[in-house]
Structure 1
Amino acid sequence: MEITGTTMLKPAYPTPHPLAGDRVPLTIFDRAAIDTYVPIVLAYPAPAPSNEALKEGLLKGVAPYPHMAGRLAVDHRGRRFIHLNNEGVLVIEAAATTAVLADVLAAGGMTTDVADFYPTVPEESVGEALLQIKLSRYRCGGLVIGVMVHHHIVDGHSASMFCSTWARAVREGNGFRAPSPALDRAATAAPRGMPKPAFDHRFIEFKGSQGSSSGGEDKSYEVLPMDKIKNLTVHFPAEFVAELKARVGARCSTFQCLLAHVWKKMTAARGLKPEEFTQVRVAVNCRGRARPAVPMDFFGNMVLWAFPRLQARDVLRLSYRGVVAAIRDAAARIDDEYIQSYVDFGGLADANREDLLATAAMGTMLCPDIEVDSWLGFSLHDLDFGTGPASAFLPPGLPVEGLMVFVPSRASKGSVDLFIAVAEDHVAAFQNVCHSLDLDPLPARM
């Protein structure tokens, strides 16, 4: 792949943006997000939109989201903030003179060579473009769009908002009308006059003083050599998902039933001891759960995590309905009281000038736990730049054992692809059971 151009695009506002030049402190929600860039990689068969059309639409699409064109900076206390200086977004153009997109998609699998599909992740994010895009054009006319945005700027909901806006700007051209998203980050993280955190957030959302974290458990995860973490892609056809829902026997989402299924199969593949506890770190959108509710078009981070937790014997023994119930119950605990407690904790941490560290570094082995992210609400049809919707998500490399992502599959409507990082020693066992709908047989010791 040959680089053919590098451009820093800066939105041109007819009048200064109301937030122009602002220095926006990171909220307690921003600080819980891991300090890294999050990639989104999309494939478009020929005829794909031209690079010029994509760049012109990008200028329009990024204008409502000035944080995207800003930079992370550090104040006199050594604390990060977002400087809305309109330094621009980075666009890299590349061309493959011999490869065709169909071969790339047919190869399947996952890659940890991020330079192939999106810009190389900077070693230090301060001062770097927060939104970086790579347009890779293939000989056949197909296109791969690699988008990466820093996690301190957006959560998954906001990232999907931006991508949909960009696609619409390209598709509608001069008829595009920019949205007016909610941008007041401070409003989402205002502590009470007398802050009263009721939960131990230092050990739930952050690493505690011993470097531990996760759902209130004082534990430290092992570190696994990166070459021992294998990235797998598992396809679940629509018929498989429908059968899972039928087995739950009650109304449930595709995400809930698939998470229950994979939790069971990972527990079995890992051979956990019956009495060992295993939990799932599940992202929960807090916009509609806060009081007062935050608008769904709020652009930024507003995610916390639920931690459904069971003994291994119960993950295997319970029906699908029982495991789904455990997942739902944990998510229900992220309510307005919990969110306000978290915001109050953030207010006290700021007042005490406390450093807080997000969890899960590269090479972490989450076993016996897992962590899940979902892009199932991110419709490929929302990503139509005018020549048809994206034909595929291409999976990024997952550097944390036990981390998994659900995405809508290009294979057929209602089908789902799972990208999951599995320890080398557990790959064969997981592949052997991941499509089994039978409840796992209980080992004799149970």
Structure 2
Amino acid sequence: MAVTVEIMRSTVLEPSPESARGGGKKVPLTVFDRASTDGYIPAVFAWNGPAPTNDALKDGLLAAVARFPHLAGRFASDEHGRKCFHLNDAGVLVLEATADADLAHALAHDVAAHINELYPKADREREGEPLFNVQLTRYACGGLVIGTACHHQVADGQSMSVFYTAWAAAVRTDAAVLPTPFIDRSATVVARNPPAPAFDHRNIEFKGERSSTHAYKVLPMDRIENLAAHFPDEFVAGLKARVGARCSTFQCLLAHAWKKVTEARDLAPDDFTHVRVAVNCRGRAKPPVPMDFFGNMVLWAFPTMQVRDLLSSSYAAVVAVIRDAVARVDDDYIQSFVDFGEAERGGIEDGGDELASTAATPGMVFCPDLEVDSWLGFRFHDLDFGYGPPCAFLPPDLPIEGIMIFVPSCAAKGGVDLFMALDDEHVDTFRQICYSMD
């Protein structure tokens, strides 16, 4: 039986004048913001009943958003006509909905069919659109699903994990004692004088004439199939034993997934394949940026191997390639990127073309490459609104072939969940081999 989700109420919640901290300021997007996806990113979490009331969730949301003024702001244009943040405390959109099924039944049978009804649909092109949107969906059993859609130029995954944790704490405890995040974006983009970019950022983070994004194909959306794989703690331990040397859960799982997807794609041995790996730059910059900085501070590493070498190499060798590529996103590279942003900002203000990010767009096919994001640092057990952590993370449709997301499993025994999208021609083979360590 199909699950019907009905929107019962739509409200824009605005911080009170006493708590609002935006002050009407206009804040420029940083070069990190401009390199991120120009669109809304959904996140959907489920809790078994009992759950806090909608009023409690909305009160906590308001208390938390007051400390994160970018979320309650809007996009606007500055005096040069460039997109900026207007911290006008215009508020966040909250939808309240009901679902005519038990949550357990929906999770077991129907969630894939109605996942897109569990978070707000935001239009990045519509002027005045809220930058953060929430949907609270109540199931017949008392279960709760919270779906959000946040514009990526507002915040990266690390930032949103800080916000979600603050929201949960505001519902559980006295909102007056919530910590205030670090929100000074200008502190993350201090360029040298004069700027001295040393890398080809126009063709790496942005779409220049030599950018690799020009070579990627596009597939009809019905050819891009979403799938999931669960890797128990025992499987991860086995991978680490294969590596031998000390390595992170992310590194060993990425090495494994890279091998298996490449094998499933049946690529030519002479082909090259790379992975676009999101790298949190907060701790890599000098001086380091606080981990509770709210904004974007991600760049990408590109571990690259020839197909024959990737498939024949040991896990230790593949992990070493990944580790070396990530290590190259160091302070020198970050400073070069910041300097590039400063130099380009001056050129655009003088009439030059706006930068366009190399972030993927719906229908894009990364094959023979991959893109990976990790939420393994997101402590889901902190997402406790007073009745325990979520029972499930529900992946929205991934509309890009070759994108992968690693998420800590909400299952009682732990482990890691991999959510990904592949060309449907390669899905059956990947499923057959995804747990083989040969």
TM-score by length of 2: 0.95
What's 1:442 paired with? none
- Residue 281 in 1 paired to residue 276 in 2? yes
- Residue 10 in 1 paired to residue 5 in 2? no
The 8 Å contact of residues 238 and 412 in structure 1, kept in 2 or not, is answered as no
What's 2:324 paired with? 329
- In structure 1, runs of 5+ residues without a counterpart are 439-446
What's 1:148 paired with? 149
1:209 positional shift: 3.2
Distance 1:324 1:25, change over 3 A: same
The 8 Å contact of residues 74 and 88 in structure 2, kept in 1 or not, is answered as yes
What letter corresponds to residue 153 of structure 1 in structure 2?
V
% identity of equivalent residues: 59
1:6 positional shift: 0.9
Tell me, in whole angstroms, the C-alpha distance in 2 between the residues paired with 1:110 and 1:286: 34
1:75 positional shift: 3.0
What letter corresponds to residue 418 of structure 1 in structure 2?
L
State how many pairs are aligned: 429
- Residue 270 in 1 paired to residue 265 in 2? yes
1:110 positional shift: 4.2
The 8 Å contact of residues 117 and 146 in structure 1, kept in 2 or not, is answered as yes
Point out the more displaced range, 381-390 or 6-15. Answer: 6-15
1:114 positional shift: 5.8
What letter corresponds to residue 105 of structure 2 in structure 1?
D
Distance 1:109 1:313, change over 3 A: farther
Tell me, in whole angstroms, the C-alpha distance in 2 between the residues paired with 1:321 and 1:108: 40
- Residue 317 in 1 paired to residue 321 in 2? no
What letter corresponds to residue 141 of structure 1 in structure 2?
G
Secondary structure of the equivalent of 1:67? coil
What's 2:236 paired with? 241
1:126 positional shift: 3.8
Tell me, in whole angstroms, the C-alpha distance in 2 between the residues paired with 1:176 and 1:242: 42
RMSD, aligned CA: 1.5
Secondary structure of the equivalent of 2:70? helix
The 8 Å contact of residues 206 and 213 in structure 1, kept in 2 or not, is answered as no
- Residue 77 in 1 paired to residue 85 in 2? no
1:196 positional shift: 0.9
What letter corresponds to residue 6 of structure 1 in structure 2?
S
What's 2:119 paired with? 118
What's 2:411 paired with? 411
Distance 1:407 1:251, change over 3 A: same
The 8 Å contact of residues 49 and 387 in structure 1, kept in 2 or not, is answered as yes
Q: Deviations over 1:385-405 (max 9, x none)?
A: 001111110011101000010
Runs of 4+ residues over 6 Å off in structure 1: none
What letter corresponds to residue 424 of structure 1 in structure 2?
D
Distance 1:175 1:161, change over 3 A: closer
Secondary structure of the equivalent of 1:145? strand
What's 1:291 paired with? 286
Tell me, in whole angstroms, the C-alpha distance in 2 between the residues paired with 1:396 and 1:128: 21
1:123 positional shift: 5.0
Tell me, in whole angstroms, the C-alpha distance in 1 between the residues paired with 2:17 and 2:107: 39
1:207 positional shift: 1.1
1:227 positional shift: 0.5
Distance 1:257 1:66, change over 3 A: same
Tell me, in whole angstroms, the C-alpha distance in 2 between the residues paired with 1:414 and 1:251: 21
Point out the more displaced range, 122-131 or 380-389. Answer: 122-131
Secondary structure of the equivalent of 1:243? helix
What's 1:181 paired with? 181
What's 1:424 paired with? 424
Tell me, in whole angstroms, the C-alpha distance in 2 between the residues paired with 1:309 and 1:125: 39
Distance 1:110 1:345, change over 3 A: farther
Distance 1:338 1:155, change over 3 A: same
The 8 Å contact of residues 110 and 232 in structure 1, kept in 2 or not, is answered as no
What's 1:443 paired with? none
1:179 positional shift: 1.2
What's 2:199 paired with? 199
- Residue 66 in 1 paired to residue 69 in 2? yes
Q: Of 47, 51, 70, which aligns to 1:48?
A: 51
1:78 positional shift: 3.2
Distance 1:16 1:104, change over 3 A: closer
Tell me, in whole angstroms, the C-alpha distance in 2 between the residues paired with 1:16 and 1:421: 40
Q: Deviations over 1:76-124 (max 9, x none)?
A: 533110000000000000012x31100111127746x664110113151
Tell me, in whole angstroms, the C-alpha distance in 1 between the residues paired with 2:126 and 2:178: 28
Q: Of 88, 93, 103, which aligns to 2:91?
A: 88
What's 1:402 paired with? 402
What letter corresponds to residue 376 of structure 1 in structure 2?
L
What's 2:161 paired with? 160
Secondary structure of the equivalent of 1:69? coil
- In structure 2, runs of 5+ residues without a counterpart are none
1:414 positional shift: 3.4
Secondary structure of the equivalent of 1:241? helix
Distance 1:387 1:15, change over 3 A: closer
The 8 Å contact of residues 189 and 338 in structure 2, kept in 1 or not, is answered as yes
The 8 Å contact of residues 40 and 146 in structure 1, kept in 2 or not, is answered as yes
Tell me, in whole angstroms, the C-alpha distance in 1 between the residues paired with 2:61 and 2:323: 38
Distance 1:227 1:401, change over 3 A: same
The 8 Å contact of residues 110 and 233 in structure 1, kept in 2 or not, is answered as no
Tell me, in whole angstroms, the C-alpha distance in 1 between the residues paired with 2:132 and 2:121: 12
- Residue 226 in 1 paired to residue 221 in 2? yes
Q: Deviations over 1:262-316 (max 9, x none)?
A: 0000110001111111000001111111111111111100000000000011111
Q: Deviations over 1:233-252 (max 9, x none)?
A: 11111111111111111111
Tell me, in whole angstroms, the C-alpha distance in 2 between the residues paired with 1:253 and 1:236: 14
Distance 1:44 1:429, change over 3 A: same
Tell me, in whole angstroms, the C-alpha distance in 1 between the residues paired with 2:282 and 2:124: 32
Secondary structure of the equivalent of 1:197? coil
Tell me, in whole angstroms, the C-alpha distance in 2 between the residues paired with 1:156 and 1:437: 30
The 8 Å contact of residues 192 and 344 in structure 1, kept in 2 or not, is answered as yes
Tell me, in whole angstroms, the C-alpha distance in 2 between the residues paired with 1:188 and 1:23: 17
1:137 positional shift: 0.2
1:74 positional shift: 2.3
- Residue 57 in 1 paired to residue 52 in 2? no
1:195 positional shift: 0.9
Tell me, in whole angstroms, the C-alpha distance in 1 between the residues paired with 2:175 and 2:183: 24
The 8 Å contact of residues 206 and 357 in structure 1, kept in 2 or not, is answered as yes
The 8 Å contact of residues 20 and 89 in structure 2, kept in 1 or not, is answered as no
What's 2:107 paired with? 105
